[in-house]
Amino acid sequence: MSINQENSFKPSLSLVDATMIVAGSMIGSGIFIVSAEVARSMGSSGWMMAMWVLAGVVTLIAALSYGELSGMFPKAGGQYVYLREAYNPFIAFLFGWTQFGVIQTGTIAAVAMAFAKYVGYLAPGLGETNYLLEVGGFHLSAAQLVAMASIILLTFINTKGVKNGKIIQTVFTFTKLFSLFGLIIFGLIIGAKAEIWNANWENAWQLSNLSMENGQLVTTGLTTMAFFGAMAVSMKGTLFSSDAWNNVTFIAGEIKNPQKNIGRALLLGTLIVTIIYVATNVMYLAVLPFNDIAFAPSDRVGVAAAESIFGAGVGAVTIAVMIIISTFGCNNGLILSGARIYYTMAKDGLFFKQAGELNKDDVPGFGLWIQCAWTCLLCLSGKYNDLLAMVIFGVLVFYVITILGIFILRKTRPDVPRSYKAFGYPVLPALYILIAFSLAVLLLIYEPNYAIPGLGIILLGIPLYFIALRSKK
């Protein structure tokens, strides 16, 4: 490396700031929507809750494992650096490319469209159905412009220094945490009905697939293989709702005492979100009959629950405002952290040279703007939801490779100081590798339309790496 990263970035983020980046990047719109698909796939309350608890446990194990890596290599770029140190620049580049090509940018685009969708709910003129331009099969809606405007605004704010992004992240994350806690408490105190709760838990562990045909509920029992398929579909949603916790590792150069605080932030942030997600689903089961969760209009379980608690008009507006706050804060964390990967790649000569330079406010301005440009193109493509479905496969693959790196580094780099060691090593990291690898294989089998293109995007990085090497020479 040509410069010392810790001196090039200014460490100005506290443990609270880092924790808010973890929690804020995780909570988007998924918790308000995903439970419907999980309920249909698994067919009962017990199994629906099990999928959320399993996602939380798996995420916590991964976050605790990353604590060791963050203590060893507290540098900007985080996971990219871990992969480079444990393996080689090629594996690290594949990760960085996949982050830029689809994981980080595709997630930002999808979250921005969720933001715009609910802005459109409150102001219909800005909605998805208001087309401003139609050319052949291409449609430009007001919602797409709102989504792009939010991305550009947050990018601009974050180019003016990490402190501006920090303020937005902390304020918006605290707001959405308190509003989610408020919804849970109101739901359990005001909206809960004993008869609904009891009915939902009568056959809590019955495994079945639910569908609607001509307005009639159809229940299909699950065979062993169908059960694994249902798990893959369910975990795709619950894990994605719990993802982006690793973003805090990308901004290690701007965190005070990163050797200790990144690991602490990972634990605190993922634990807070896991508790909130499980509690939210308990609240859903207390206020809504199970079939109303499974077949909520447009999968908007949060809206259905809020309408049950507060009444139709107030409930829908409450959730719309909560999702607007949630998605805006979520994207701030994703935008703030993403450009730090491209900064480190550029320092290695594997990305645009300008992305490896800091602007006068000590942030990678060019990296932020190039991330912004590609993300806006994804918004224009209208294919962001397809990209999002591919994301979780790539995410799982790189989490497995990264946590495997802990085992490799224990053997190859035993002398590197470890301010924190992976909790439950070697059992829990090995358990995570087994679960995540199994889910990735299940996605390839049962969701090939999404998993195979996701694999294709990763493999596209192979020729790009050699092109980058030639450019570097």
At 153-211, the pLDDT tens digits run 999 999 999 988 999 999 999 999 999 999 999 999 999 999 999 999 998 999 999 99
Find the distance separating the first CA and the last CA of the chain, reported in whole Å.
Answer: 16
> Do 51 and 301 touch, CB atoms closer than 8 A?
no
Phi, psi at residue 219, to the nearest 5°?
-110, 125
Query: What is the 3-state secondary structure of 121-137?
Result: HHCHHHCCCCEEEEECC
Alpha-carbon distance 348 to 363, whole Å? 18
Q: What is the DSSP string of 12-77?
A: -B-HHHHHHHHHHHH-SSGGGTTHHHHHHHH-SHHHHHHHHHHHHHHHHHHHHHHHHHHHH---BT
pLDDT at 145 over 80: yes
pLDDT at 386 over 50: yes
> Do 101 and 460 touch, CB atoms closer than 8 A?
yes
> Do 387 and 102 touch, CB atoms closer than 8 A?
yes
Tens digit of each residue's pLDDT (9 = 90 or more) over 67-91: 999 999 998 899 999 999 999 999 9
pLDDT at 55 over 60: yes
Question: What is the mean predicted confidence (pLDDT) over 209-227?
Answer: 88
Tokens of residue 182, six digits: 């408020």
Does 233 or 146 have the greater pLDDT score? 146
pLDDT score of 177: 93
Question: What is the mean predicted confidence (pLDDT) over 293-313?
Answer: 91
Q: What is the DSSP string of 201-246?
A: TTTTT--EEEEEETTEEEEEE--HHHHHHHHHHHHHHHHHHT--TT
Non-local CB neighbours of 16 within 8 Å, separated by 6+ positions: 170
**Strand pairing partners for 134?**
139
As a whole-number percent, the residues of the chain with pLDDT over 70 amount to 97
pLDDT score of 288: 96
Q: By mean pLDDT, which of 136-140, 143-147, 171-175 is the weakest? A: 136-140
**Strand pairing partners for 211?**
218
Tens digit of each residue's pLDDT (9 = 90 or more) over 410-450: 999 999 999 889 999 999 999 999 999 998 998 888 888 88
Measured CA angle at 346 (ends 342, 347), to 5 deg: 120
pTM of the model: 0.90
Question: What is the mean predicted confidence (pLDDT) over 322-336?
Answer: 94
Q: How many secondary structure helices (H) and strands (E) does the chain include?
A: 20, 4
pLDDT score of 266: 95
Tokens of residue 255, six digits: 């965190």
> Do 238 and 54 touch, CB atoms closer than 8 A?
yes
